[in-house]
Structure 1
Amino acid sequence: MTTPERQQQDKTGKPRLALFDLDHTLLPLDSDHSWGVFTTRIGWTDPAEFERRNDEFFAQYRAGTLDIHDYVRFATDAVRQRGAAAAEAAHRQFMDEVIRPAMLPAALDLVEGHRAAGDRLVIVTATNAFVTRPIADALGIDELIAVDLVRGDDGWITGAIAGIPSAREGKVDRMEAWLARHGWTWDDVHTTFYSDSLNDLALLERVDHPVATNPDARLRALAQERGWPILDLFAHHAA
């Protein structure tokens, strides 16, 4: 973000929100897909069948055709079967072996720059909260809008989605609900949103300052057409 732009925002007196997609935006990987690969590696799923279905769902996501309810049921199946203690222990291992090594300086610097400027930081992701809450914590970002999961009478997840999933247009709905809880509307704040995917077009079009970040080919073309900033955080990293 340029200095004059930052100064102009300061003069408005509006709170500044820095919104971040997570997968392929702050991380050079898809945390949901990577979690699935990890659970297969530790023996929780049948390798061939899980890989086939996981890759199939990931391709649907990239194409914008994913049924998120079907995907979340599939993606949380092993976690539901293993129970909370085993799942949380596995996630700690996942953080150490997969996620923390993928938290690269360029992305961390971007987050810290907004934090140092006094911006309110929010992750807005289509990945479920079980996978992403520890990642947000590791990034030092308290505010997480993720796919929330229904919990049964035993307190553990059921595989169903609670409320509106934070995917595609749902990201706008969930952000509006978040703003309302803080007594704000879109007009009360200045918003910047970083995303890699055309799946996030609805929120990119809604914010004040969209930034195509490590964009896929379709978003890169659109950003060039519309004059949106393009930020390649991982240009020198082999994901």
Structure 2
Amino acid sequence: MTISIYDMDRTITRSGTWTPWLKFWARREAPWRLLLVPLLAGALIGYAARLITRARLKEIGHRLFMGRRVGRTRLLAAADAYADKVIATNIFAGALAQIAADRAEGQRLVLATASNEYYVRAIAAKLGIDDVIATASRWDDDHLHHRLGGDNCYGDIKRVLVEAWLEREALAGEPVRFYSDHVSDRPVFELAEASGGEAVAANPSKALRQLAQERGWRIVDWGQPARSFFERA
């Protein structure tokens, strides 16, 4: 085994990180934007009704709570502070222990998540994870735009992005160990299995636990995740 890839929300963290990030940003940078919570609630309802995509929901949430453009220095300072909060309050101890064990094995550690890359990188750095595969945002010079810079890193798209990363790093065909809590990551679990690596269902949802039992995948329980219909990634 040479590569360990981790999902983030509810795999390493107890709860989702996107809505808490938006609230954190607004409280820190523009408290008046908290008045726009009802508009975000409307967008969440639209997403739940499948009237808008998750990618579009992320763009709307960003536009409401962060504005159209944010300077890089300001953003990185807030992301670093948010990462400190996540590490202090929202991480499974079992996940930290597994990351440390994989590192001790000499594994290359990767975080692959649908969450936004601009704050995921800050969290990954504090976990000691150098490689990140996440939902990219658009940058205009030194300013982050509210539009995404690519596809939402979820489901089949996550597998495509993981495979592209493996190709870029000259690691295609290497055994992969993959950890996730959700059945939406089935394509990446199957990639890990096909590589001769290992699929690990961590804190699995009901559907993933059933699939893992059927496929003979290892199951680990690091704690009880906080489930949210609106943050299914």
Same fold (TM over 0.5): yes
Please report the TM-score for the alignment, with normalisation by the length of structure 2: 0.81
The 5 Å alignment of 1:59-138 reads: 67-77=53-63, 78-81=65-68, 83-84=70-71, 85-138=73-126
Root-mean-square deviation over aligned CA pairs: 2.7
Closer/same/farther in 2, CA of residues 56 and 98 from structure 1, 3 Å limit? farther
Q: Extract unaligned runs of 5+ from structure 2.
A: 228-233
Which residue pairs with 1:182 in the alignment? Answer: 169
Please report the TM-score for the alignment, with normalisation by the length of structure 1: 0.80
Q: Distance in 2 between matches of 1:86 and 1:166?
A: 25
Which residue pairs with 2:221 in the alignment? Answer: 232
Letter in 2 for 1:118: G
Q: Extract unaligned runs of 5+ from structure 1.
A: 1-8, 10-15
- The Cα of 1:181 is off from its aligned counterpart by 1.1
Closer/same/farther in 2, CA of residues 86 and 212 from structure 1, 3 Å limit? same
Q: Distance in 2 between matches of 1:70 and 1:134?
A: 23
Closer/same/farther in 2, CA of residues 48 and 157 from structure 1, 3 Å limit? closer
- How many residue pairs get aligned? The number is 218
Closer/same/farther in 2, CA of residues 192 and 103 from structure 1, 3 Å limit? same
Which residue pairs with 2:3 in the alignment? Answer: 17
Which residue pairs with 1:172 in the alignment? Answer: 159
Q: Distance in 2 between matches of 1:65 and 1:231?
A: 35
Closer/same/farther in 2, CA of residues 65 and 167 from structure 1, 3 Å limit? farther
Q: Distance in 2 between matches of 1:150 and 1:51?
A: 21
Q: Distance in 2 between matches of 1:161 and 1:83?
A: 14
Q: Distance in 1 between matches of 2:135 and 2:155?
A: 12
